[in-house]
Chains A and B, each alone.
Chain A
Amino acid sequence: MGRYGRYIPWIILGCTILLFPLRTSNYYLQIACLAGIYIILIIGYDFILGWAGLLSLSHAAFYGIGAYTSALLSVNFSIPFWVTLPAAAIVAGLFGLVVGFPTLRLRGHYLALGTLAFGEIVVLVLMRWRAVTRGVDGVTGIVPASFGLFVFDNNKSYYYLLIFFILILAIFARRIHQSRFGRALIAIRTAEVTAEVSGIDTNRIKLLAFILSAVYAGIAGSLYAYLFRYISPETFGLHQSITILTMLLIGGGGSIGGSVLGAILLSFLPEWLRFLKDYYLLLYGVGIVLMMAFMPDGVIGLAKKIISKIKFRLPLRRNV
């Protein structure tokens, strides 16, 4: 490999992603779009679970808050996408602040339970507060996202819009991970007491991570609303939080690559298994159990292991 050899994998990866919509069906494109939304969700969730080591089960609620904020603003006030998207991020972030402030004083199981309760409350409110949320019937008639005269009203264009957001949010997440804040999160995950005596304001850092993850979820929710152009409360229940948790665990926490792989793998896996007809969800469950058992560090952990083995066998050229 020459001087620019190290860019080759990136180019292959970029081309694959960019050319994907040109040679696939609308069916796979739709799943790819949903996977893209999950990528944003999981990158956000990684801030609290992968980096700060806090188990929260309310991520789907922030996702729902983002989706409903965007959808209701769009349907009731005809506000365009580029306003409702930041609005969704802000509202979800504010809820993150309000919820995170009391619950982050809890630890371990208690934090999981506290956030679980919040998630359930949000779904119940979405179902019951009919005057505002339109109840279990959900919200229809969301105006498609547009940029100038260009309307993102099909999966192909939306796919590229999602890539744009994923890139921005992934780069931002990477910058955060490498910052002082990111290192503080690792310190909290490793040993909270030690972090505290080292002068890290652990409560503040944890709260910031929680808000940040809620903002990511809000953005993902908004993008979800504009993808489906119909939302209903059932989508944002506990099962969704569990799906998000599973995706991160399967992909491998603490890295953007893990978040991306987990989101893509678990979005496509149940659909690939559809040919098994009645048994596909059973096989899907078995698959997840096996992955948990044999890949405790997720797909990315396994990839790292393989790489270190390759490295061991073939000394890298640059080391020579």
Chain B
Amino acid sequence: MHKKILIAALILGMVLTACGPAVQEQTTQEIPTEQPTQLAATESTQATTEPTQAATVPDTIKIGFVAPLTTANALMGWSMQQGAQLAAQEINDAGGINGVPLELIIEDNSNTADVAVNAINRVLSENPVALILGSTSAQTLAMEPIILENTLPTIIMGSSPSLTDQGNPWVFATRADDGFAATAAVKFAVEDLGAKKVGIFHAAEEFGTSVAPIIISALAEYGLEPAAVVSAPSTDKDYSAQLLELQAADVDVILVWVLPAPGILLARQMKQLGMDTPVVANPVFGLSQVLVLMTPEELAGIYSMTDCVPSQSTDEKILAFVQAYKDRTGTTPDLFGALSYDSVKLFADVITQVGTDLAAIQAGLFAVTGWPGVCHNYSFDAKGRGGYDISTVDISTGTLKVVGTVSK
């Protein structure tokens, strides 16, 4: 009997003790790999740095990065990772932040809240000075108490207004929030497409149901009432009942607020039912992974709201980013690639000015006004919201063609 316990104790002991040194091992491993870059960087750009200052400078400045790199949203996470890594590479090629190389601590959140919390704790064990979250709203909400506890300046890429409404002064949102996007979608549908009888199709989950009333009140400002409001859970595969209801109501524009996979199915089933009603949708159709899955017939008549279309810009700096992203990945950057590129660059800029003190970085972000990124010009309000413009794009040609932009 007690041998059995001994074995169990040994196994458990091995399991538990394996946890302790792991962190130390990783930190010791880092030093040899990072030192050459750091030395090269300091030699080339910061030759005049005073010795006293150099003594307190850390080996690297670490920025945490947690995104869905596996499971359902992996393609989105991939874009985010590419954008962030491109920015970090450019910063380090130019000599780092005040001569100190930037290091991204990248972890996967597996698209679930538990793993997201493990991932953020894993990142925190490396002592980052800033954090970028490419997570959905539920995961971000799960991580917010940890961010508050560790007073870590954090940029999030979720668009739900509830994320910045938590009163957490360390959270900064770079995307235009869903309420703003919905109002802009209504404006485009009524003013540009001349909609009179608007139909609404939204996901039956939180992000869809919370947007529906915003759309309805925005329509009311034009003296309009929706002709039909239908919804479907994102797990459904057949939307013909909802589409036939919209068809029966004889709508002239459909406002759509759904997730990527249902968006594709919806466009496909509309064509199968012979519906050619124009669609104005949330940013789903602005994502490159959605566009590659659609045929030209399905794309016809669809407009999508999107935070930005870097490839359509005339700004040289933005076009240089598009080219660098293409050279790196072979694809055109979508809004998530652009947003995470901006997030890394913005942090680097703030840290260059104020140093690595967490409170100083937070104050530095609040002080940002009109910082020119590739996706937006950023300024953060008291709640930490920073995305102030949204574009409407025509996707019928298979590429994103900007047809209008609304700014707050």
When chains A and B are docked, how far (Å) is the Cα of A214 from the Cα of B216?
A: 43
Report yes or no: B17 in contact with A16, Cβ–Cβ below 8 A. Answer: yes
* Tally of chain A residues near chain B (CB < 8 A): 58
Q: Is A199 an interface residue (CB 8 A)?
A: no
Q: Is B290 an interface residue (CB 8 A)?
A: no
When chains A and B are docked, how far (Å) is the Cα of A13 from the Cα of B119?
A: 28
When chains A and B are docked, how far (Å) is the Cα of A274 from the Cα of B126?
A: 14
Q: How far is the CB of A125 from chain B (nearest CB, A)?
A: 13
Interface string of B138-159 (1 = CB under 8 A from A): 1001101100000000000000
Q: Is A34 an interface residue (CB 8 A)?
A: yes
Q: How far is the CB of B80 from chain A (nearest CB, A)?
A: 14
When chains A and B are docked, how far (Å) is the Cα of A311 from the Cα of B207?
A: 61
Report yes or no: A265 in contact with B15, Cβ–Cβ below 8 A. Answer: yes
Q: Is A31 an interface residue (CB 8 A)?
A: yes
From B104-112, B190-198, B250-258, B367-375, the one touching the partner chain is B104-112
Q: Is A80 an interface residue (CB 8 A)?
A: no
Report yes or no: B142 in contact with A261, Cβ–Cβ below 8 A. Answer: no
Interface string of A126-138 (1 = CB under 8 A from B): 0110100001111
Q: Is B44 an interface residue (CB 8 A)?
A: no
When chains A and B are docked, how far (Å) is the Cα of A306 from the Cα of B10?
A: 13
Given contacts A136-B138, A140-B166, A234-B112, are A27 and B9 in contact (CB under 8 A)? no
Interface string of A274-291 (1 = CB under 8 A from B): 100110110000000000
Given contacts A28-B19, A264-B15, are A230 and B142 in contact (CB under 8 A)? yes
Report yes or no: B205 in contact with A136, Cβ–Cβ below 8 A. Answer: yes
Q: Is A25 an interface residue (CB 8 A)?
A: yes
Given the complex, which residues of A lie within 8 Å of B312, measured CB to CB? none
Q: Is B408 an interface residue (CB 8 A)?
A: no
Q: Is A151 an interface residue (CB 8 A)?
A: no
Report yes or no: A13 in contact with B107, Cβ–Cβ below 8 A. Answer: no
Within 8 Å by CB of B138, from A5, A6, A28, A234, lies: A234
When chains A and B are docked, how far (Å) is the Cα of A311 from the Cα of B15?
A: 25
Report yes or no: A261 in contact with B12, Cβ–Cβ below 8 A. Answer: yes
Report yes or no: B142 in contact with A281, Cβ–Cβ below 8 A. Answer: no
A to B contact number (C-beta, < 8 Å): 149
Within 8 Å by CB of B9, from A12, A128, A272, lies: A12
Q: Is B20 an interface residue (CB 8 A)?
A: yes
* Tally of chain B residues near chain A (CB < 8 A): 51
Interface string of B198-233 (1 = CB under 8 A from A): 000000111101000000000000000000000000
When chains A and B are docked, how far (Å) is the Cα of A272 from the Cα of B16?
A: 12
Within 8 Å by CB of A16, from B13, B115, B142, B160, lies: B13
Q: How far is the CB of A306 from chain B (nearest CB, A)?
A: 7
Report yes or no: A235 in contact with B113, Cβ–Cβ below 8 A. Answer: yes
Given the complex, which residues of A lie within 8 Å of B1, measured CB to CB? 6
Q: How far is the CB of A126 from chain B (nearest CB, A)?
A: 12
Report yes or no: B124 in contact with A26, Cβ–Cβ below 8 A. Answer: yes
Report yes or no: B7 in contact with A306, Cβ–Cβ below 8 A. Answer: yes
Report yes or no: A27 in contact with B13, Cβ–Cβ below 8 A. Answer: no
Q: Is B8 an interface residue (CB 8 A)?
A: yes
Interface string of B117-140 (1 = CB under 8 A from A): 110011011000000000001100
State which residues 130-169 of A face B: CB under 8 Å: 130, 135-138, 140
When chains A and B are docked, how far (Å) is the Cα of A146 from the Cα of B64?
A: 32
Q: Is A217 an interface residue (CB 8 A)?
A: no
When chains A and B are docked, how far (Å) is the Cα of A138 from the Cα of B138?
A: 7
Given the complex, which residues of B lie within 8 Å of A6, measured CB to CB? 1-2
By beta carbon, the residue of chain B nearest A12 is B9
Given the complex, which residues of B lie within 8 Å of A28, measured CB to CB? 19-20, 22-23
Q: How far is the CB of A283 from chain B (nearest CB, A)?
A: 12
Q: Which A residues have a C-beta under 8 Å from some C-beta of B?
A: 5-6, 8-10, 12-13, 16-17, 20, 23-28, 30-32, 34, 127-128, 130, 135-138, 140, 228-232, 234-235, 239, 257, 260-261, 264-265, 268, 270-272, 274, 277-278, 280-281, 299-300, 303-304, 306-307, 310-311
The 10 closest A-B CB pairs, nearest first, are A13-B9, A27-B121, A9-B6, A28-B19, A6-B2, A136-B206, A232-B138, A27-B125, A9-B9, A25-B125
Q: Which B residues have a C-beta under 8 Å from some C-beta of A?
A: 1-9, 11-13, 15-20, 22-23, 69-71, 106-108, 110, 112-115, 117-118, 121-122, 124-125, 137-138, 141-142, 144-145, 160, 162, 166, 204-207, 209
A31-B121, A234-B113 known; 15 new pairs, CB 8 Å cut-off, are A9-B6, A9-B8, A16-B12, A25-B121, A27-B23, A27-B121, A32-B16, A128-B204, A135-B205, A136-B138, A137-B138, A235-B113, A268-B18, A303-B8, A307-B7
